[in-house]
Amino acid sequence: MSEIKIKVKDNEKSFSQGISPKEVFESLNIFSRSIIAAKKDGKPIDLNTKLSEDCILEPINIGSEEGEEILRHSASHIMAQAVIHIFGKDVKYAIGPAIENGFYYDFDLEHSFTPEDLEKIEAEMRKIVKENYPFERKVLPKEEAIKLFTELNQPYKLEIISEIPDDTVSIYTQGDFTDLCRGPHIPSTGYLKNFKLLSVAGAYWRGDEKNKMLQRIYGTAFATKDELKKYLHFLEEAKKRDHRKLGKELDLFSINENVGPGLILWHPKGAMVRKVIEDFWKDEHIKRGYQFLYTPHIARVDLWKISGHWDFYRENMFSPMEVDKGLYMVKPMNCPFHIMVYKSKMRSYRDLPIRYAELGTVYRYEKSGVLHGLLRVRGFTQDDAHLFVTEEQLEDEIIGVLDFTNYMIETFGFDKYNIYLSTRPEKYVGSLENWELATNALKVAVEKLELPYKIDPGEGVFYGPKIDVKLIDALGREWQGPTVQVDFNLPERFDVTYIGKDGKEHRPIMLHRVVLGSMERFFGTLIEQYAGAFPLWLAPVQVKIVPISDAHKEYAKKVYDLLFENRVRVELDDRNEKMNAKIRDAEKEKVPYILIIGDREVSENTVSVRKRRQGNLGAQSVREFLNRVLTEIKEKTID
């Protein structure tokens, strides 16, 4: 048998053809049970793959990013096997990939999964793990694979096979379960030790709501018991902070099926937080030379054809409606309207940069399966702005936007965030020269500000590259936030110009930017960041006054009036309830300050102050407390 050369790290040796990665690692005394797969010339393969050519080989450890993905993908196969063991061979299994921190598998069966079923499936998975079935890979001609999955009565696999262009496909078998899969997988089921099934959700086949609704079981798996325990604790914390749960408990917002999915009803308390955010947003824009606009919610379809959204974004736009024999549609974005304002008169180079800002409500068609509380909606208000600049101004304006963004998000308590520079996608408009110029301007801006960033290849929008800022919350999760995008395309499509120093027409560059994101998504992010306990300056109710008995209500009302006159958001709880019950209710509402008033407070003209998380602060004069609160509000103190 001929020999092949295999390089592992700095060690290159000759081996017989047909040797496996596991055997190579064993011969070099570097194999351990933590190695679950290998990379051959950078591509992941199974440990028992037969090697037939010279290559560079690397071990994949179970605790590495690639190792965890392989572990989780294998866990999805084991879960599918367990489901069939329990519910029979009539179960149709669709796809089961690894995802971030876990895995899922989609099933088609008459029975609706319950939490009790997840316990049974998990128990059956542990039996399969104990059996330690090897994952065995075979490569079959497509005709043979079609025959196999026809006999197994698995239509979803047959549909996938029909779309594979190759003449052969690979399958994996562990014990009595066979699946269509590229792999690789862990060597055997016994390698899966630390896992947990989490939930069941509905999912349309291939994400298309025209297709059948399947049942998706989610699970998670980790290399170690400690990592699994830590992640399950994280999920519990995330559950407590879920903005949908807190939104209902704190009476902040709701979504009503009679109104429509993805459309938010802001309740008084949620609307108050939004007002505070918007007032702050407007004040800071005025300081930075922005001018405010208001634009319509609908426009002629022609506007979106000119902009290019009709060609590049149509699947996310609502269908047009007929008005006066013309076609109109609700706006998916604000930019064409801002261009129309710019074009309403001739502009000079002396006018630039022009910075337009609008809290503009837009509407986008999102499939029902991806709607998620405030975070993924169909109607939302963007803190939108569009800047019209010369090429010479471009870099400074990007720096200005990034500096503004940094100030805004840190004021709201986000001191950690990741920055991504998104480059040209496959489908784009405009010249490569302009793309290069725009991308370089973004790159120079972040580097001048000494901001660490990552390249996100191919994730720019169709008209230009962008910088995305993703906020990191108290649990370490990323949230989509501010963005700045450079656009040469729309000024060209709409023939936007200005008169330069030479008296000739020139084309400005357009910047699209948001410093918070949409009001809905940002509010959802804030709810989860603070677990509903907003900082004082943002809290819908900042102070709750609790008189102990009817005898203290008159004085309590005077305290209320003083705070109210000074624009403190205050409530007086004069219900005929016991004091402790009133305090408990205020704590459940996550009110920052509770003022308790009894005989002593009335006689001494004071209030007894309780602060959220800190407890009893003792007695203070009313004026002293007022000054304390006003200072905290002015300084936008974060608890």
Predicted confidence (pLDDT) at residue 47 exceeds the cutoff of 80: yes
d(CA 313, CA 309): 5
Q: CA 355, 361, 366: angle at the middle one, nearest 5? A: 125
Using one digit for the tens of pLDDT, what is the confidence trace for 239-287?
999 999 999 999 999 999 999 999 999 999 999 999 999 999 999 999 9
Q: Which of 127, 133, 73 is nearest to 105 (CA)?
A: 73
Predicted confidence (pLDDT) at residue 583 exceeds the cutoff of 90: yes
Using CB atoms within 10 A of its CB, is residue 64 exposed (0-12), middle (13-18) or buried (19+)?
Answer: middle
512 is known as an active-site residue? yes
Q: How far is the first Cα of the chain from the last one, in angstroms, to the nearest whole number?
A: 71
CA distance readout (Å), 383 to 379, 512, 554:
13, 11, 44
pLDDT value at position 621? 95
Predicted confidence (pLDDT) at residue 25 exceeds the cutoff of 70: yes
All structural domains of the chain with their residue ranges: 3-61, 66-230, 272-529, 543-635
Q: Which of 23-37, 56-70, 434-448, 510-524 has the lowest mean pLDDT?
A: 434-448
Q: How confident is the prediction for the chain on average, in pLDDT? A: 94
Please give the distance of CA 199 from its chain centroid, rounded to a whole number.
19
542 is known as an active-site residue? no
pLDDT value at position 209? 77
CATH of 3-61, one of 3.20.20.210, 2.30.250.10, 3.10.20.30, 3.90.1280.20: 3.10.20.30
Q: Which of 86, 266, 272, 304 is nearest to 177 (CA)?
A: 86
Residue 70 contacts residue 46 (beta carbons within 8 Å) = no
The three-class DSSP label of residue 620 is strand
d(CA 525, CA 414): 10
The three-class DSSP label of residue 177 is strand
d(CA 621, CA 404): 39
Q: 């989610």: which residue's tokens?
A: 218
Using CB atoms within 10 A of its CB, is residue 219 exposed (0-12), middle (13-18) or buried (19+)?
Answer: buried
DSSP H or E run through 169: strand 168-174
Please provide the CATH number assigned to the domain covering 543-635.
3.40.50.800
DSSP state at residue 464:
B
Q: Which of 245, 497, 54, 29 is nearest to 253 (CA)?
A: 245
pLDDT value at position 151? 95
Evaluate the CA torsion angle 51, 56, 57, 60 in order and state its sign. negative
User: How confident is the model over 32-48, as a mean pLDDT?
Assistant: 95
Instruction: Kindly state the tokens that stand for 228.
Output: 């699994």
Instruction: Kindly state the tokens that stand for 304.
Output: 């979106």
Catalytically annotated residue among 157, 269, 378, 466: 466
d(CA 302, CA 310): 9
d(CA 151, CA 168): 18
pLDDT value at position 479? 86
| Other Cβ atoms within 10 Å of 609 Cβ, number | 21
DSSP H or E run through 547: strand 543-547
Q: Which of 121, 7, 124, 105 is nearest to 58 (CA)?
A: 7
Instruction: Kindly state the tokens that stand for 217.
Output: 């079981």
Catalytically annotated residue among 106, 117, 384, 573: 384
Predicted confidence (pLDDT) at residue 303 exceeds the cutoff of 90: yes
pLDDT value at position 182? 93
CATH of 272-529, one of 3.40.470.10, 3.30.930.10, 3.10.20.30, 3.40.30.10: 3.30.930.10
User: How confident is the model over 163-186, as a mean pLDDT?
Assistant: 95
Q: Write down the pTM of the prediction.
A: 0.84
d(CA 564, CA 573): 14
The three-class DSSP label of residue 611 is strand
- Position 473 confidence tier, pLDDT thresholds 50, 70, 90: confident
Using CB atoms within 10 A of its CB, is residue 320 exposed (0-12), middle (13-18) or buried (19+)?
Answer: middle
Residue 532 contacts residue 249 (beta carbons within 8 Å) = yes
pLDDT value at position 463? 79
User: How confident is the model over 522-539, as a mean pLDDT?
Assistant: 95
pLDDT value at position 507? 95
DSSP state at residue 361:
E
Catalytically annotated residue among 92, 512, 552, 590: 512
Catalytically annotated residue among 382, 393, 485, 542: 382
d(CA 143, CA 149): 10
pLDDT value at position 548? 95
Instruction: Kindly state the tokens that stand for 548.
Output: 């102990």
d(CA 372, CA 637): 30
pLDDT value at position 1? 59
111 is known as an active-site residue? no
Q: Which of 20-29, 35-44, 308-317, 550-559 has the lowest mean pLDDT?
A: 308-317
174 is known as an active-site residue? no
CA distance readout (Å), 535 to 3, 171, 333:
69, 55, 31
Q: Which of 57-71, 422-436, 606-620 has the lowest mean pLDDT?
A: 422-436
386 is known as an active-site residue? yes
Q: Phi then psi for 383, rounded to 5 degrees?
A: -85, 75
CA distance readout (Å), 284 to 79, 384, 539:
53, 14, 20
Q: Can you spell out the DSSP letters for 72-101?
A: HHHHHHHHHHHHHHHH-TT-EE----EETT
Using CB atoms within 10 A of its CB, is residue 614 exposed (0-12), middle (13-18) or buried (19+)?
Answer: exposed
How many CA atoms within 13 Å lie on the side-chain side of 598?
Answer: 10
d(CA 599, CA 609): 15
Q: Which of 170, 206, 175 is nearest to 81 (CA)?
A: 175
403 is known as an active-site residue? no
| Other Cβ atoms within 10 Å of 176 Cβ, number | 11
Predicted confidence (pLDDT) at residue 540 exceeds the cutoff of 80: yes
- Position 187 confidence tier, pLDDT thresholds 50, 70, 90: very high
Catalytically annotated residue among 73, 185, 285, 364: 364
DSSP state at residue 610:
E
Residue 169 contacts residue 139 (beta carbons within 8 Å) = yes
Catalytically annotated residue among 55, 335, 347, 529: 335
Residue 466 contacts residue 458 (beta carbons within 8 Å) = no
* Crossing angle between the packed helical segments 225-241 and 519-530, to the nearest 10 degrees: 120
55 is known as an active-site residue? no
How many CA atoms within 13 Å lie on the side-chain side of 14?
Answer: 3
Using one digit for the tens of pLDDT, what is the confidence trace for 355-384?
999 999 999 998 877 889 999 999 999 999
Q: Is the peptide bond before 184 cis (omega within 30 degrees of 0)?
A: yes
User: How confident is the model over 412-431, as a mean pLDDT?
Assistant: 87
User: Which superfamily is assigned to 66-230 in CATH?
Assistant: Threonyl-trna Synthetase; Chain A, domain 2 (3.30.980.10)
- 272-529 and 543-635, same CATH topology: no
Buried/exposed 286-297: b ≥16 CB within 10 Å, e otherwise: eeeebeebebee
Residue 369 contacts residue 209 (beta carbons within 8 Å) = yes
Instruction: Kindly state the tokens that stand for 402.
Output: 């990034």
Catalytically annotated residue among 347, 386, 521, 544: 386
What type of residue sits at position 106?
D
